[in-house]
Structure 1
Amino acid sequence: MTTSLPKGSIVALVTPFCEDGSVNTEKLRELVEFHVSHDTDGILVLGTTGESSTMTEEEDDLAAKTVIEAAAGRIPVIVGAGSNNTATQLDKAKKYEKMGADGLLLISPYYNKANTEGLVRHFTTVADTVNIPIILYNIPGRTGMSIPVEVVERLSRHPMIQGIKEASGNMSYAMNVSKLLNDDFVMYSGNDDIIVPMMGAGASGVISVLADVAPSQTHDMVSRYLNNDVQGALSLQRELLDLIHALFIEVNPIPVKEAMNLMGMDVGGYRLPLYPMEEQHRETLKRELQKAGLCA
């Protein structure tokens, strides 16, 4: 079996909020159209960038349903169904599969963490139940633990576990995971500043925050590499590097939402404990957006 997961640039979509703090479904639909028209290769909803950690279950369901319906099969939609409670994760995964998700992103358990066998079962409990591809999510900076390579190896043999989003920034870890890659198990960069190096290690693309503001450029970077234009891809990576750094000048997704608002996309604010960024950081971000030709 060859994985049906998309190659290329998968946007880690923000969740837009109305002035009253509710999920802005109209804006969500607009963002789907924006990405369809700008060559984005896939959409991830309810990831870290989507702020699901401060959203209710009903709001998560609303955001996922809105994006899946708006995409209407034109672009693959992956839904973040992760939890540090395996039973909750399973319930969410089954629900999103029924909604029509094309894949699921499952994070390693945070706070409670897990031993090796518990970690394996955290993922396989879902994989044994659903019939859509699963992407593991390794982001130790958020969860407090990295998925050991030997655990990734065991999980990669499961027919429904077909990829990993590698967001540790550790190229040594990525290289060890790269030995496991094949037609049935792929890797995505989870860090916009090392998309090209990660593709050099075998990644099939990126799950990207940058793509929220520069979707065509992010798609082009990955597409160039996949079409053997390594120098062209590297040139774009370098060209966008200062903007990428500005998008992470404070904790994600504070800067990317501010950037989208500066660009006139009106995605709203945040929920505590996230808070509007410092003015000096905002000026840095605005300057980089202007240099990239993305805002006035």
Structure 2
Amino acid sequence: MSDNPFGRVITAMVTPMHDDGSIDFDGLQRLAVHLADHGHDGLLVNGTTGESATTTDDEDYDAVGAVVEAVGDRVAVMAGCGTNDTEHSIRAATEMVKRGADTLLVVTPYYNKPTQHGIVEHFRMIAEAADRPVMAYDIPGRTGTALATDTIRRLAEIPGLRAVKDAKGDLFEASRLMAETDLLWFSGDDVLNLAFLALGATGIVSVVGHVAGDDYRAMIDAVDAGDLPRAREIHTRLIPAIDAIMHTSQGAIQVKAALKMQGLLGSDQLRMPLLQGPPEHQDKLRKGLAASGLA
């Protein structure tokens, strides 16, 4: 994996906030250091879990700069710059590179539902303008448009587009494309991390990694060593935590609550329309973390 600029254990970081909703940049840097200390060789700033839908461009740029300052010499810092506006995405990508981003995450354009040809050109224009390795993010459940298999084959021909974050969940098509292209493949769904790794994926872009970075590092090491029973044991132990974080309400909500419970965040504040979960969600979270040995 020496030609992998992204890392293998990557967490899509939450954006810590004060109780008034302003960004806690000191908390963001402390969290970045904690993750770098616990199994991570890559961090994603300004992804969906970072509440990118409700943060401003300037906040996004400052967040990238803060994480680069804190851990840029230790991990690869990836910046989420994709929107459904190509020119906006190019401006964001260019500025995030200036702030020190090593790589970029570009999501499939959402809501306006471009053609597959338009999607390819969107990625091409951003990759050419940014001059940094790009990871394409395929998550049709949020964007409304899946990257077709032939589209991903075309993306693989774009210089600079190096990887796919797969949250589509089609394991057969993923394995086909891993075999046919030289794209680096990343699980974008914690539920399927082990399945993707067993099929040959390079790594993971995780939400649960906020609390399970060391475990995911051990899982990847076990798969690399051919020790599937060990990897399966880690996966099985993490099921309650994954369920509590990913299947209860929404990842950012539950992860902020978990980090507050663990004393890693001072506040679990989110921006509307995201709200903190009710007591029963937090109770399930406490039980899930405890059952997975992460309390």
Q: Same fold (TM over 0.5)?
A: yes
Normalising by structure 1, report the TM-score: 0.94
Q: 5+ residue gaps in structure 2?
A: none
Corresponding residue pairs, total: 292
Cross-structure match for 1:199: 197
1:29 maps to 2:49: no
Pair 1:237–1:262, CA change in 2 (3 A): same
The Cα offsets for residues 145-178 of structure 1, whole Å up to 9 and x where unpaired, read as 1111111101111220000000122223323332
User: What SS does structure 2 have at the residue aligned with 1:15?
Assistant: coil
* Rounded Cα–Cα distance in structure 2 between residues aligned with 1:124 and 1:136: 11
* Rounded Cα–Cα distance in structure 2 between residues aligned with 1:94 and 1:192: 30
What's the CA shift for 1:268? 2.8
Q: Is the 8 A contact 1:242 1:288 kept in 2?
A: yes
Residue 172 of structure 1 aligns to which amino acid in structure 2? F
* Rounded Cα–Cα distance in structure 1 between residues aligned with 2:83 and 2:209: 25
Residue 145 of structure 1 aligns to which amino acid in structure 2? T
Cross-structure match for 1:19: 19
1:247 maps to 2:245: yes
Cross-structure match for 1:212: 210
Q: 5+ residue gaps in structure 1?
A: none
Cross-structure match for 1:226: 224
* Rounded Cα–Cα distance in structure 2 between residues aligned with 1:3 and 1:91: 27
1:149-164 to 2 correspondences below 5 Å: 149-164=149-164
Cross-structure match for 1:130: 130
* Rounded Cα–Cα distance in structure 1 between residues aligned with 2:128 and 2:7: 24
Alpha carbon RMSD of aligned pairs, Å?
A: 1.4
Identity of aligned residues (%): 33
Runs of 4+ more than 3 Å apart? none
* Rounded Cα–Cα distance in structure 1 between residues aligned with 2:197 and 2:76: 21
Normalising by structure 2, report the TM-score: 0.95
Residue 256 of structure 2 aligns to which amino acid in structure 1? K
Cross-structure match for 1:145: 145
1:177-188 to 2 correspondences below 5 Å: 177-182=177-182, 185-188=183-186
Cross-structure match for 2:64: 64
